[in-house]
Chains A and B, each alone.
Chain A
Amino acid sequence: GQQLNQSPQSMFIQEGEDVSMNCTSSSIFNTWLWYKQDPGEGPVLLIALYKAGELTSNGRLTAQFGITRKDSFLNISASIPSDVGIYFCAGTGANSKLTFGKGITLSVRP
């Protein structure tokens, strides 16, 4: 089946630093989505990507849909304490169902 790989499981950065997260797959995806989940909340959509090569920004966040359609990255610039949370990539592939990665827990040290 379709799988999305996110690693590492956890990332620790200093406030003000930039951070980049990757999401890869052996299958082609037609849509890539990035979500953030805070404790006790549902995932919140950060960025949606619909076309290979597409680069989209949302404030301090930038994400790209890989040219091969098998990967995507999310960059967070100038991190702040409220960036802490779990970041999930998700994608829709040939089966038209949304598949989630395992998530990356981001910690930001003040």
Chain B
Amino acid sequence: SAVISQKPSRDICQRGTSLTIQCQVDSQVTMMFWYRQQPGQSLTLIATANQGSEATYESGFVIDKFPISRPNLTFSTLTVSNMSPEDSSIYLCSVERGRVLDTQYFGPGTRLTVL
């Protein structure tokens, strides 16, 4: 498995501001993923972050709104920019690990509320 930590664990933010979420893994991984989980919903992939290259965004998510950094093989950040109440969600990072590189382990999540 993997030990993944996220900061902050929760935050309450004002409309129009930005929040940067950090994800730290206990060992080097090639790919890190960022997901959004809206209240009462399932997980939706925002983007895949590889070290040394730009993140790959899923349909409906853009870099200007969700810029991602991946400075090394154990760390990534996701910024939620110009927030609105619709951005209120849990944001989760995950990494691939396992017998076959299709097994993802998740961090504890960051619970964001936008007023």
Contacts and interface: CB of A to CB of B under 8 A. Distances in A.
Q: What band does the interface of chain B fall in when counting residues whose beta carbon is under 8 Å from A?
A: 20 to 34
Nearest to A93: B102
A42 B107 contact: yes
B111 to A, nearest CB: 7
Nearest to B100: A50
B115 interface: no
A88 B44 CA distance: 13
Contacts, number: 51
B58 to A, nearest CB: 8
Interface in A28-85: 30-31, 33, 35, 40-45, 48, 50
Interface in B15-61: 33, 41-45
A88 B104 CA distance: 13
A88 to B, nearest CB: 7
Interface of B: 1, 4, 33, 41-45, 92, 94, 98-100, 102-109, 111
Given A42-B106, A48-B98, A88-B43, 15 more contacts: A31-B100, A31-B102, A35-B106, A40-B109, A42-B109, A43-B92, A45-B1, A48-B103, A96-B102, A98-B33, A98-B102, A101-B42, A102-B41, A102-B42, A103-B42
Interface of A: 30-31, 33, 35, 40-45, 48, 50, 88, 90, 92, 96-98, 100-103
